[in-house]
């Protein structure tokens, strides 16, 4: 739960910085893409907590709470860009790198260890294809 909460900070930063780029469609595409991938993240948090005996309502509230940090990350991204427009490419690069690091270091190895039926690779590839489609059509 803590890992998901912490990685939502750079996600929020990416959305905030994308909106500050001057192209609203880039901001909306980034927000939509991140919003879509937050659904399974929240479900994973709720499922993990339910195995600990938490009630359904507490699991849902905890999953929602992990995403509440994203607006703070968005505000951080906006503040960085407002301070210096030269920071825009650096902030976008930081956000992208942080999210890729979390996926490569935590999520992919975690799914490889814990999956019981089949492989997580098709879901990963489907998510990548959806994000590329959104990037091309909305970006």
pLDDT per position as a tens digit, 108-128: 676 666 556 666 677 777 877
Task: For 12-36, write each residue's pLDDT tens digit.
Answer: 888 888 888 888 888 898 899 888 8
Q: What distance in Å separates the CA atoms of residue 118 and residue 88, rounded to the nearest whole number?
A: 41
pLDDT band at residue 2 under the 50/70/90 scheme? confident
Q: For the range 48-53, what are the long-range contacts, defined as Cβ-Cβ under 8 Å and sequence gap of 24 or more?
A: 48/1, 49/1
Per-residue confidence (pLDDT) for residue 58, from 0 to 100: 94
Task: Average the pLDDT over 79-88 and give the result.
Answer: 80
Kindly report the pTM of this predicted structure.
Answer: 0.63
Task: Average the pLDDT over 63-91 and give the result.
Answer: 84
Is 125:23 a contact under the CB 8 Å cutoff?
no
Check whether 57 has a pLDDT greater than 90: yes
Residue 4: closest CA among 68, 77, 97: 68
For 98, residues 6+ apart whose C-beta sits below 8 A from its C-beta are 7, 9, 10
Per-residue confidence (pLDDT) for residue 113, from 0 to 100: 62
| Residue 36: half-sphere exposure toward Cβ, Cα within 13 Å | 13
């Amino acid at each position: 739960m803590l890992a998901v909460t912490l990685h939502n900070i750079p996600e929020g930063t990416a959305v905030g910085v994308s909106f500050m780029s001057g192209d609203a469609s880039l901001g909306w595409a980034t927000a939509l893409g991140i919003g879509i991938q937050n659904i399974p993240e929240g479900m994973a948090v709720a499922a993990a907590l339910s195995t600990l005996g938490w009630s359904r309502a507490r699991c849902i509230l905890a999953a929602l709470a992990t995403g509440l940090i994203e607006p703070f990350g968005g505000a951080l991204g906006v503040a960085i860009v407002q301070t210096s427009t030269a920071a825009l490419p650096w902030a976008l690069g930081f956000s992208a790198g942080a999210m890729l690091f979390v996926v490569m270091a935590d999520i992919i190895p975690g799914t490889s260890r814990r999956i019981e039926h089949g492989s997580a690779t098709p879901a990963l590839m489907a998510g990548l294809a959806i994000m590329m489609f959104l990037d091309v059509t909305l970006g």
